[in-house]
Each structure stands twice: as structure tokens, then as C-alpha cells.
Amino acid sequence: MTLQLLIPILILLSTRGWWLRGAVSMLLLLAITALLVVPWQIRNYRIVHSPVLSTISSYNLLFYNAASLAADEQGVGLAQMQREMLKRVQAKMDAQRVSDEASRLKLYNEWGSKIILAHPYRYTYVHLKDDLNSFLPNATEFLELLGVTKGGKGTLSVLNQYGFRAAIRHYFGKQVWLLWILSPLVALLGVTYLGSLVGLVVLARRRIWFPLALLLLPVAYLLLIPGAPSCPRFRMPAMPHICLLAGTGLTNVWQWASDKLHWTRSY
């Protein structure tokens, strides 16, 4: 919903004096968005007493974001901490003799917020570190779709706790040779990232602010907000923006290389 509010503001700012036209476009987009999401918010309010789009945010707050912080503090894996928290939640629910979804979500929010607010600076570090998982190659899910490997092994938990090499050994086992097959795809992703960084610098140096904001802000929103739940598939909605930035950067690199080659040949 935040992203839906951000885009109309960018539309309004891009009109350069045509405020009426920009305002009409912004209101039209907001009206269409409201038509789609408000009925679902009303439905959720009637069931869980909160006008949320999804209850998954409350679950993630405790069992991913807060659990990731607690796991980092105690030096244990995320999966282990999630199991411990689930037991505590169930014990609390049993003690209060409640089982409805609204009470469960309230407990998720209270406990999750309490854990995070107790160590806000450390949580910020853990959150941003977990966000990097979205930038990993989506090789594991690709191999699972092909039926070569199987999921559900807690690879990201091993990655966050023990590092990249341990995660590779954990997931691939004796099939590390599969990485060589996937290396061209990994290399292509790396070139895309590098090109997007160059594109960002090019647009900033040329002060082309509106296209830069339109491409960069959705990427920042989509990839910095999740934290602990982050995984490569979270990157998919942001990839069109990343690819457009990469196209800008690689085009400028190609032009620079062509100019250099032309200057060298002229001498």
C-alpha cells in the first residue's frame, strides 16, 4: 500500500506545472487501488479486528524479524529460534484459554515489537544484513523446479549463521558441480547488478532525478523492507527497475568504450 501511495506522488511531481492533470492522474490511481484493497481490508477487520491487507506481516514480525534478532543475540540458527518462539506462543495462548486469530495476531505484534525495540540498533544491522539475501542468485529454486534438488533444507539460516561456503555445502552436498552449470546465469546477474550501479551514478551525475527516483525508490522499498524473510524470489518485483537501471548503465559503458576505441584508431 505504501508503494501505491509513492507512485501517485511521483506522478504529481513529474508534471512540471501541470498540477491539475497530475492531480487527476494521482486521484484516479488511488481510486482504482482503493477499489481493489478496501473491501479486503474491511473483510480482515471483521475477522481479526485490524484493517490489514494480510496477517502475514504480524507473523513475520515475530517469527522472522524478531526471531532473527534473538537468534543473532544468542548465536543460534533462525529455525531453532522459530521453534522455541512457537512453543512459547502456544503456551501463552493455552494459559489465556484463547485460540482466535485476533488474539494470536495481537500476541505476535506485542512480542515482536518488544523484542525489536529492546535492541533497535542491533536490529537495524541484522535487518539490513538479512535484506542482502534478496540479491542472491535464485539458483536453488531453479534447480528445485527442474527436480534436481529438493527444498526445505534451511539453507538461508545456515548462510546467515555460518556463511556462504557452509550454505553451499549444506544445500548442494555432493552436487556442488551444479554450480558450474549455473555459473553463466550467476555471471549475468552480476553484470546486471554492476550495470544498475553504473546507471544509478550516470543518472545522478546528469541530475535526471525523476527517472532515477521512479526506478530506485521501488527497488529500495521492495528490497529493504522485508528483512529476515528476504530470499531471492523477493527480488522479482524489483527486477524490471533493476534491469532498466542496468540498461542505462551498460549503454553508457558501451558508448564510452566505443568512443575510446574510435579515439585510439584515429591516432
Q: Residue 176, Cβ neighbours under 10 Å: how many? A: 11
DSSP 184-239: HHHHHHHHHHHHHHHHHHHHHHTT-HHHHHHHHHHHHHHHHS--TT--GGGGGGGH
Q: What percent of the chain has pLDDT over 90?
A: 36
Tell me what pLDDT residue 16 has.
58
145 and 127 in contact (C-beta within 8 Å)? no
- How far apart CA 207 and CA 213 sit, in angstroms, is 11
Q: What percent of the chain has pLDDT over 70?
A: 77
What are the respective helix, strand and coil percentages of the chain, to the nearest 5?
80, 0, 20
Per residue in 53-101, pLDDT tens? 777 888 999 999 999 999 999 988 888 899 999 999 889 888 888 777 7
Extents of the domains making up the chain? 1-54, 55-118, 129-258
Is the entire prediction scored with pTM above 0.75?
no
Tell me what pLDDT residue 13 has.
60
